[in-house]
Amino acid sequence: MRIPVSLDRKVFFGTNTKEPLELDDQGKSKEINLLSSRRVHMRAFHLAWLGFFSAFTGWFAITALISSIKADTGISDAQAATSDITNVASTVIFRFFIGPLVDYFGARRVMALVLTLGSIPLVLVGLVNSGTGLIVSRFFVGLLGAAFVPCQYWTQSMFSDSVIGSANAVTAGWGNMGAGFTYLVMPQFYNMFSAAGVSAHNAWRATLAIPAFFCITVGMLCLSFGDDKPIKGHGTDQEQPATNAHAVDKDSTVVENKPDTASVSSTESTGHKGHSVGVLGFLRLAINPSVLILMLMYACSFGVELCVDSKLGTYLTKHFTRPDCVVGPGETCTYISQSSAGLIGSTFGLMNLFSRAAGGILSDWAASRYSTTAGALGARMVVQMVLLLCNGAALIAFSFINEIQPAIAVLVIFSLLTEATCGSTYAIVPFVDPLRRGTVSGLVGAGGNIGGAIFNVIFAALAANPDKGFLIMGCVVFVSSVFVLLLKIQGVWGWAGFSAVFRRRAAEAA
């Protein structure tokens, strides 16, 4: 039985997990069975999001425990804030470098490398006793945030263009939930160690070892059980024989000539045959106008998400107060407590379970309605523009609301739109340069972190009026939608893609 998730039924929950998936002529899957872990496509799919999820637990683990760390070490609020900025900013640098690496070495090896190396400074944070030590340590912990790049490259290597938006969005969305999961779970591990008699001095240090161990474990799973690219063939995928792909001769691959047979060919590698980008190639992509525009759009989606994650709890408790309230001993004028605000804030991240996927699925569905390249890309761009316009409008509306009930309603709307725009952005990214998808993914992903840093600076400058911060952020997102018209992907301009879409709509109406 198949329970469809997308309108075209290409993404579904299939109870028959052994049912083969339909493949294209490159061996990439044209379907996504979310309940399956069959090799190679669905196993890579689940390892991709699990790798990113584990990276997020490590990346945000210190933030979840920062109050305990400050109380034990005497680190100031300013030093802690600087370490937060460093943690996000360093990820920008690491994403730039990780992109070319996945193009050359493949997602499997790079994912394992990022998770393993990133866990080392996370454990070493336990040796920190000063603000400087925390800042330096968190710079290197930021490597974990770069796991997003091999996550997205892996799905782009395994799934056909017809479902690539859905595959990218679901894996990234589920991976992003690691942040919300960390905020909920890490304090509980700390409490568990404290209840067991571990001192406060050692409890937070022991707690940080848990996500580090999780990252290393998942990294080894990716390296041992994942595949870098599909088994080439036609028709449907077949479960590969028990021999692991990495035990096969490095110059061999399994090729499917028929649905029920498999043979070993010595022409290609089951590993990754890399594309070297080079410094000049990297710079050309870094100044490519379409890449820069997509970086802007990801800054206006994932950057917004990063900023809201850090500011929402405080905003809800301080901005929405009961009118004519006089603060007395032990009393506050807020509608909601700090803990309730924190729960709402974590929910913003946990909505990635479905909201980011919605953007990718919507983009794939819109593209599937057109047989031409211009029409399909144009449809994706229309989805992108509409989501950015609506999200900007919702953020602007949120900035003017002073009552908690309508604010929560609008918060849910712009949360859905923000995360859906992340998904629709990466439904376009794979088409910019098919041979250097890793580099493009890294550059666009870095744009999200840059946006988060810029928006955080804006909020810091408007600390006394955070509602203006939401207003400025909403205006930037709204205006960024216009740049969709200036995208040029595979020779198709954004405005020309729109024209192809609207011509078909007019023809159908006639």
* Cα of 257 vs its chain's centroid, Å: 36
User: What's the 3-state SS for 259-324?
Assistant: CCEEEEECCCCCCCCCCCCHHHHHHHHHCCHHHHHHHHHHHCCHHHHHHHHHHHHHHHHHHCECCC
**Over the stretch 344-397, which tens digit does the pLDDT of each residue have?**
766 666 788 889 999 999 999 999 988 888 889 999 999 999 999 999 999 999
What is the arithmetic mean of pLDDT over 485-508?
A: 80
Q: Helix 289-299 and helix 404-425: axis angle, to 10°?
A: 150
- 195 against 67, higher pLDDT: 195
**Over the stretch 254-297, which tens digit does the pLDDT of each residue have?**
333 333 333 323 233 344 555 666 778 888 999 999 999 999 99
**Over the stretch 2-51, which tens digit does the pLDDT of each residue have?**
999 887 889 999 988 888 899 998 899 999 999 999 999 999 999 999 99
* Cα of 227 vs its chain's centroid, Å: 21
Residue 10 φ then ψ, to 5°: -80, -25
Residue 490 φ then ψ, to 5°: 50, 40
Q: What is the pLDDT of residue 375?
A: 86
> CA-CA distance, 109 to 115, in Å (whole number)?
10
Q: What is the mean pLDDT of the chain?
A: 85
What is the arithmetic mean of pLDDT over 159-179?
A: 92
What are the C-alpha distances in Å from 164 to residues 10, 15, 43, 319?
11, 22, 16, 41
Q: How many CB atoms lie within 10 A of CB 208?
A: 25
What is the arithmetic mean of pLDDT over 243-249?
A: 37
- Structural contact between residues 234 and 25, judged by C-beta atoms closer than 8 angstroms: yes
% of the chain residues with pLDDT over 70: 84
Q: What is the pLDDT of residue 257?
A: 33
**Over the stretch 154-166, which tens digit does the pLDDT of each residue have?**
999 999 999 999 9
Classify 310 as helix, strand or coil. Answer: helix
What six digits make up the tokens of 492? 């198709």
Where is average pLDDT lowest: 267-271, 313-317, 328-332, 385-389?
Answer: 267-271
% of the chain residues with pLDDT over 90: 56
pLDDT band at residue 319 under the 50/70/90 scheme? confident
> CA-CA distance, 7 to 221, in Å (whole number)?
33
What is the arithmetic mean of pLDDT over 212-233?
A: 90
| Winning range, highest mean pLDDT, from 83-92, 119-128, 342-351 | 119-128
Q: What is the pLDDT of residue 333?
A: 67
pLDDT band at residue 243 under the 50/70/90 scheme? very low
- 352 against 428, higher pLDDT: 428
**Over the stretch 180-207, which tens digit does the pLDDT of each residue have?**
788 788 988 999 999 999 999 999 999 9
E strand or H helix at 349, and its extent? helix 338-350
State which amino acid sits at residue 89.
A
pTM equals 0.83
Q: What is the pLDDT of residue 442?
A: 93
State which amino acid sits at residue 105.
F
- 431 against 310, higher pLDDT: 431
- The residue among 57, 56, 206, 248 whose CA lies nearest residue 146 is 56
- 250 against 353, higher pLDDT: 353
> CA-CA distance, 221 to 47, in Å (whole number)?
8
